[in-house]
Amino acid sequence: MPRAVADSGENLDADNIAQCNMDRGAHQQQHGYKVGSPPNKGILTEFASAVKETLFADEPMRRYKDQPRSKKLWLALQHVFPVFDWGRQYTLAKFKGDLIAGLTLASLVIPQDIGYAKLANLPPEIGLHSSFVPPLIYALMGTSRELAMGPVAAISLLLGTLLQEEIDPKKNPLDYKRLAFTATFFAGVTQAALGFCRLGFIIEFFSHAAIVGWMAGAAITIALQQLKGFLGIAKFTKNTDIVSVMKSWNWQTILIGASFLTFLLVAKYIGKKNKKFFWVPAIAPLISVVISTLFVYITRADKHGVAIVKNLKKGINPPSASLIFFTGPYLLKGFKIGVVAGMISLSEAIAVARTFAGLNDYQIDGNKEMLALGTMNVVGSMTSCYIATGGFARSAVNCMAGCKTPVSNIVMSTVVLLALQWITPLFKYTPNATISSIIISAVLNLIDYESAYLIWKVDKLDFMACLGAFLGVIFSSVEYGLLIAVAMSLIKVLLHVTRPRTALLGNLPRTIIYRNIEQYPEATKVSRMLIVRVDSSIYFTNSNYVKERILRWLRDEEEHQKEQKSPKIEFLVVDLSPVNDIDTSGIHAFKELFGTLEKRKIQLIFANPGVVVIQKLRLAKFTEHIGEEKICLTVADAVKKFAPQSTENV
Amino acid sequence: MPRAVADSGENLDADNIAQCNMDRGAHQQQHGYKVGSPPNKGILTEFASAVKETLFADEPMRRYKDQPRSKKLWLALQHVFPVFDWGRQYTLAKFKGDLIAGLTLASLVIPQDIGYAKLANLPPEIGLHSSFVPPLIYALMGTSRELAMGPVAAISLLLGTLLQEEIDPKKNPLDYKRLAFTATFFAGVTQAALGFCRLGFIIEFFSHAAIVGWMAGAAITIALQQLKGFLGIAKFTKNTDIVSVMKSWNWQTILIGASFLTFLLVAKYIGKKNKKFFWVPAIAPLISVVISTLFVYITRADKHGVAIVKNLKKGINPPSASLIFFTGPYLLKGFKIGVVAGMISLSEAIAVARTFAGLNDYQIDGNKEMLALGTMNVVGSMTSCYIATGGFARSAVNCMAGCKTPVSNIVMSTVVLLALQWITPLFKYTPNATISSIIISAVLNLIDYESAYLIWKVDKLDFMACLGAFLGVIFSSVEYGLLIAVAMSLIKVLLHVTRPRTALLGNLPRTIIYRNIEQYPEATKVSRMLIVRVDSSIYFTNSNYVKERILRWLRDEEEHQKEQKSPKIEFLVVDLSPVNDIDTSGIHAFKELFGTLEKRKIQLIFANPGVVVIQKLRLAKFTEHIGEEKICLTVADAVKKFAPQSTENV
């Protein structure tokens, strides 16, 4: 034993001796553990737990456990209106942070909203309306501190594209507006329904990669559209004809647009360079608006063909419930558009909220968020707002400006309210070129090339989805790109479950550890034994592949052995550690495998089946079929039990 | 050390000492193995291998490796026409088996085909045609020995339902027939295309469970339809009105139907009871036809209102290529129907072929099968056949009758040929009631209640899919049931990847094995450490759930510890053994997890990441992020390294 001690480089205390002895025990089937299979829970418990994991993974009810009735009610109220929760610890210090954040936000969003509304082919004041009511609702119901509510570029473009397929915004502006409200209403209903039915996980089927690609595509489409603003075309539309461009060519407009775009980009650069100057890019838009508006007002450049915002209705949101199509042919169309736009805006908001929650270490409640966003948009649709959601850019500004609670949203919407009441008339003279340059500099944030590069590096298939969505938007339309994004995501999942990985295992010399020989070149194969690991659940989509892949490993190995003149294979060990679940097709495939192997005088051995797998194998009587003794706790056990002399190479 | 020896109950030979020492070595990070991560293969190799596993999993080219040119050609010919392969070892003994099998088959299928054709609202001779040409083609190209080709009940019903939605078979029989041929043509094209593009795995998305349910539903629908045959209604149609039933009531018909059904069921029972009487149920249909036909012919019962087959054109298949719609509105409809019917019949044939190949221990080549079936149906569509495929019942008869090669198909089709040439006129007097009873007894085979019961026992979710498809067919239509079947299958896959299992691991006392404490109650938790295993790949569909589930495990554990007053948790070990793949969303989720844990002063440790996972973690610089030393080879290593004193509880 001294040699061993020397090797191990430490004194053998009793503990270690026992340890060592027991380890060998483990190695030689003397630990006496059998593969555990707890009694089958029975369908109801099983079903209940499945439902719980799927819909109530976050255990919403646990906080109500053993609480007095009144307390329960109070908790329920807090659950629906978190403001009652954080509101009680609200302090002046916090308000200071929220005030600054709110003011910064307002200066950023007021000019943006006017532009975004135009992306959706809606009158500019609708954009401002959407930054007044929704933030208030969200402040009462939301769980995220940083999320800043209002219209966002990509969704505005999507909504605009979908709506104008149904109604021409020029010919029939009223019906167009009504359809927009209808879509917003149903977007809200969809979001609230998903949250209420706790089906939030549905939006997780938009893969991150696909969304990155889609956003970038939307951003570029928007930017190209806006460039037309420079050429003085008042209307934001996709179809441009060279004649109208030439006609409306106007050097003052180009000058204004170019100069302010430069100004905004420089501001953005400063903000990036030094984080404590984050407010520079934040207020730059407002500054550009003020300056350019004054400039036009003084020089009356609009008389010289500089396109300006012109009509911008003042006053707060008029009620619009009566405008929603609850009957007629547009009901269904509005519904469809709403569902799509609702889901996308939802997934964006949740993603953004999650990011910031992660940064500041708190959890957001996905389903509660959906309820909040849904209510927000439903109320919005009845107060002349179109779909609002939590955009990344403005939330980032909100966060950097030091917001502490959703109060910053309230501050912002108050400022927007004042703007609507008194300032808006002044925007009359704001040149479209300025709005365009503001939008362009805003949407550039949506092009997340860093993520794209990371995706490319890490997962090529993911990148395909990203690229597909991107090209889809660029060369076809936002909706088509979206379709590609979703399709790609699903195909990825399905491909993954159709062709799982399998690996050949070898023993790490001088240990009882068995590892993938591709990953661990030092791992040595066990003679007369082939150890295969299946790296996925086995069910109908892949059961036949798995069976045939295992047989291929066997065939290749046998050929290899013929060359080597090494003893033929007598045992096939299938390591089931990574196999989490198996269905009837999977068991069927194993039965076929067993039959084939039997004919070839090769014994089939299973190592370390999980709880579900062993239960199902038992239920299907497969364990009796191959023999209980063929089911081992670990690969090491299997080796020790069936090919002991193979320890020669250990 | 003596105590240890005593425990281990055997002498310590040098080998054991070394072993034991090394085991402890392994246990104490002295085996010096690092988590292996082979150099990244680079996109091309990666992509190539992905394509290979997806499309060329069976390595079709390996047989051509280092072969002379002429040999290669010969092999290619054999690949397309396996007949050149097995044909060379064909012997008289084999032919004897095939002859008997072929004759038995013929006696079974001739009456069935007449009935199945009527299920598809097609003239009876089309059914016989479909048992003449297709089997010949398949015999040359197929790789399955047992598969017997011809029309099958379920597909005939499906085709009939889909076709009569487009054209009324009564009002416009010719166009109906033409559409049927068009559908058959495109069914063949679809099948061949899938085989040629090696996209065979697509059909694996019809889950076994769903198909079982669908088949049973179709069987019951058919049986109920046929019962109307007993009431003397000549036409097989779904919509029956009580008046016509009363009018056509006819006791002779009922008598004939009832008695022959009894006869057939008794024959079936005999066949089941004693395997060597398999031929009894096989020839029973022909006997019933002969007897009932003679009976009608002698008594002229048809004069007394017994509905008979009446017009059955004699002669072999007329060419029908000119009848296929290659233009006009019906082209697209035929195409759609063809794609659906083609895929279903494909999945049935492949499933049946796989089953028998498994029984007789040989592999069938899925893609080659598809090519064969496709060609078969394309040629069939041009020779007055409708969709043929390999039915289970007839293939079982073929197998039990001792077929050795596809020659039994040739024998069968020769007999059918003779029947078409000379015997068919005699079928004129066959009562529909007999045909109905033959179909009823045939479709009863499709109700696989044993499988259904097994599915129920093993996997409740699977059973839902099964039941859904079944009820869909019964209460709506075969196509709707099919839709449900596919949808259910996909939902199952998606649910599975959205809510993966996670498990808490504990140490099996006196070993270095760590297992799910739910499965192994004897497993003890390691103090100050929480060991969680994620039982699935981590990507966008489940990354957030996984992250939040892990945090929930942690929260529950911490509460538990508060009660226990046991030391607080300092380490969270995530066992990645079952994690086969991770995408950017997954890595993002881990980053968030790491951030949250850092704030709580808990160290994040990874155990046993697979080759893909470790590569991606490295590429994403996440390993540097959490520190290379936090990535351990095994859970045991992690425990030894970070919580050594926890061995107290070992």
B589, two tokens = 């989720």
Task: Kindly list the domain boundaries of chain A, sorted by start residue.
Answer: 85-236+243-491, 502-642
Mean pLDDT of chain A: 82
Length of chain B equals: 650
Nearest CA of chain A to the CA of B208: how many Å?
A: 6
> Radius of gyration of chain A from Cα atoms?
32
For residue A542, what pLDDT is reported?
A: 84
Reported as a pLDDT band with limits 50, 70 and 90, residue B237 is: very low
Q: In this complex, which of A24, A494, A619 lies closest to B8 when CB atoms are compared?
A: A24
- Crossing angle of helices B432-443 and B279-299, in 10° steps, is 160
Contact B26 A537 (CB under 8 A): no
CA angle A81, A86, A91 (to 5 degrees): 140
What is the predicted pLDDT for the residue at A32? 65
Nearest to B584 among A28, A458, A634 (CB): A458
Collect all residues of chain B within an 8 Å Cβ-Cβ radius of residue A501.
580-581, 610, 612
Picking from B362, B493, B524, B551 by the largest number of A CB atoms within 10 A of its own CB, the best residue to mutate is: B493
3-state secondary structure of A145: coil
Count Cα atoms within 13 angstroms, Cβ side, for B348: 28
Indicate the DSSP class of residue A48.
H
CATH number, domain B502-642, options 3.30.750.24, 3.40.50.970, 3.30.565.10, 3.90.1150.10: 3.30.750.24
Tokens of A258: 């170019």
pLDDT at position A137, please? 94
- Distance (Å, whole) CA B425 – CA B414: 17
CB contact (8 A) between residue A493 and residue B495: no
* B631 bridge partner residues: B606
3-state secondary structure of B242: helix
Note the pLDDT tens digit of each residue in B440-496: 888 888 888 888 888 888 777 788 888 988 998 888 887 788 788 778 877 777 777
| Inter-chain residue contact B460 with A33, CB threshold 8 Å | no
Per CB-CB distance under 8 Å, the chain A contacts of B24 are: 8, 16, 19-20, 23
All residues of chain B having their beta carbon less than 8 Å from the beta carbon of residue A8 are 21, 24-25, 28, 30
CB A108 within 8 A of CB A394: yes
pLDDT of A15 strictly over 50: no
CA of A540, closest CA in chain B: separation in Å?
5
Q: How far apart are CA A626 and CA A609, in angstroms?
A: 14
Q: How far are the Cα atoms of A274, A400, A441 from residue A269, in angstroms, in the given order?
A: 9, 16, 11
Number of A/B CB contacts below 8 angstroms equals: 348
Q: Quick check: B54 and A21 CB within 8 A?
A: no
Per-residue pLDDT at B621 exceeds 80: yes
CB A552 within 8 A of CB A584: no
Question: Considering only CA atoms, which of A584, A581, A622 is closest in space to residue B207?
Answer: A584
The predicted-structure confidence for A343-380, as pLDDT tens digits, reads as follows 889 888 888 887 787 777 677 778 888 999 999 999 99
Counting beta carbons within 10 angstroms of the beta carbon of residue A385, is it exposed (0 to 12), middle (13 to 18) or buried (19 or more)?
Answer: buried
Q: What is the 3-state secondary structure (H, E, C) of B84-127?
A: HHHHHHCCHHHHHHHHHHHHHHHHHHHHHHHHHHHHCCCCHHHH
Distance between CA atoms of B263 and B255, rounded to whole angstroms? 12
Cα of B202 to nearest chain A Cα, Å: 9
How many other CB atoms are there within 10 angstroms of residue A161's CB atom?
A: 20
Instruction: Give how far the C-alpha of residue A371 lies from the chain's centroid of Cα atoms, to the nearest Å.
Output: 18
Predicted confidence band of residue A341 (pLDDT cuts 50, 70, 90): very high
Which of B31, B43, B46 is nearest residue A511 as measured by Cβ atoms? B31
Q: Which residues of B touch A4 (CB under 8 A)?
A: 17-18, 20-21
Average pLDDT for B625-630: 87
* Section A37-55 average pLDDT: 67
Span B410-420, mean pLDDT?
A: 92
pLDDT, position A120: 92
- Whether the Cβ atoms of residue A334 and residue A445 lie closer than 8 Å to each other: no
Pick the residue of B16, B19, B214, B623 with the most A CBs within 10 A to test the interface with A by mutation. Answer: B19
> Of B307, B109, A335, which Cα lies nearest the Cα of B117?
B109
Nearest alpha-carbon partner for B641 in B28, B12, B193? B28
- CB neighbour list of residue B381: distance below 8 Å, 6 or more residues apart: B181, B182, B184, B185, B187, B188, B320, B321, B324
The residue type of B132 is F
Euclidean distance between CA atoms B392 and A170, whole angstroms: 63
A519 to B462: CB separation less than 8 angstroms, yes or no = no
Sheet holding A631-632, edge to edge: A514-516, A502-507, A529-534, A571-575, A603-607, A631-632
Cα B274 to Cα B329: distance, rounded to the nearest angstrom: 54
Question: Nearest by CB to B493, which of A28, A541, A591?
Answer: A541
Residue among A1, A513, A545 whose CB faces B201 most closely = A545
- Map residue B206 onto helix, strand or coil: coil
In 10 A of CB B430, how many CB atoms? 25
The answer to whether the CB atoms of A511 and B23 lie below 8 A apart is: yes
Q: What's the CA gap between B47 and B41, in Å, rounded?
A: 10
Q: Model confidence at B381, in pLDDT bands (50, 70, 90)? A: very high
Burial label for B107, CB within 10 Å (0-12, 13-18, 19+), is: buried
* A238 vs B56, residue with greater confidence: B56
Long-range CB contact pairs, B198-202, < 8 A, 24+? B198/B55, B198/B56, B198/B367, B199/B55, B200/B350, B200/B366, B200/B367, B200/B370, B201/A498, B201/A499, B201/A541, B201/A545, B201/B54, B202/B343
Residue B415 to residues B153, B285, B594, Cα–Cα distance (Å)? 21, 16, 73
- All residues of chain A having their beta carbon less than 8 Å from the beta carbon of residue B620 are 454, 457-458
The structure tokens 């968030």 sit at: B592
pLDDT higher for A20 or B214? B214
Q: Which of A540, A554, A631, A646 to mutate to test the interface with B (most CBs of B within 10 A)?
A: A540
Q: Nearest by CB to A510, from B25, B537, B539: name it.
A: B25
How sure is the predictor about A177, in pLDDT bands with cuts at 50, 70 and 90?
very high
Q: Is B57 helix (H, G, I), strand (E, B) or coil?
A: coil
Are A496 and B537 in contact (CB < 8 Å)?
A: yes
User: What digits encode the pLDDT tens for the residues B172-185?
Assistant: 999 999 999 999 99
Of the residues A539, A619, A645, the best mutation for testing chain B's interface (the one with the most B CB atoms within 10 Å of its CB) is A539
Nearest to A286 by CA among A92, A104, A475: A104
3-state secondary structure B559-622: HHHHHHCCCCCCEEEEECCCCCCECHHHHHHHHHHHHHHHHCCCEEEEECCCHHHHHHHHHCCH
Q: Which two tokens stand for residue A425?
A: 């008339």
Rg, Å, chain B Cα set: 32
CA-based max dimension of chain A: 101
- Nearest of B325, B316, B270, B395 to residue B125 by alpha carbon: B316
Q: How confident is the model at residue A518, as a pLDDT?
A: 82
Distance CA A144, CA A137 (A): 13
Buried b / exposed e across A621-640, counting CB within 10 Å, b at 16+? ebbeebeeebbbbbbbbbbb
Residue B633 vs residues B35, B546, B608: alpha-carbon distances, Å: 5, 22, 5
- B572-591, pLDDT tens digit by residue? 999 998 888 888 788 888 98
Out of A19, A519, A544, closest to residue B24 by CB: A19
Contact B544 A458 (CB under 8 A): no
Q: Which residues of B touch A541 (CB under 8 A)?
A: 201, 204-205, 207, 493
Using CB atoms, pick whichever of A208, A358, A584 lies closest to residue B595. Answer: A358
Burial level of B275, CB count in 10 A (0-12/13-18/19+)? exposed
Cβ within 8 Å of residue B347, ≥6 positions away: B203, B206, B211
Residue of chain B whose alpha carbon sits nearest to that of A18:
B4
Residue of A644, A635, A5 whose CA lies nearest to B18: A5
Asked whether the predicted pLDDT for residue A546 surpasses 50, the reply is: yes
Residues of chain B positioned with their CB less than 8 A from the CB of A634 = 513
Place of tokens 């007394």: B304
C-alpha span between B227 and B214 (Å, rounded): 20
Dist. CA B325–CA B335, nearest whole Å: 10
> What is the SS3 assignment for A256?
helix
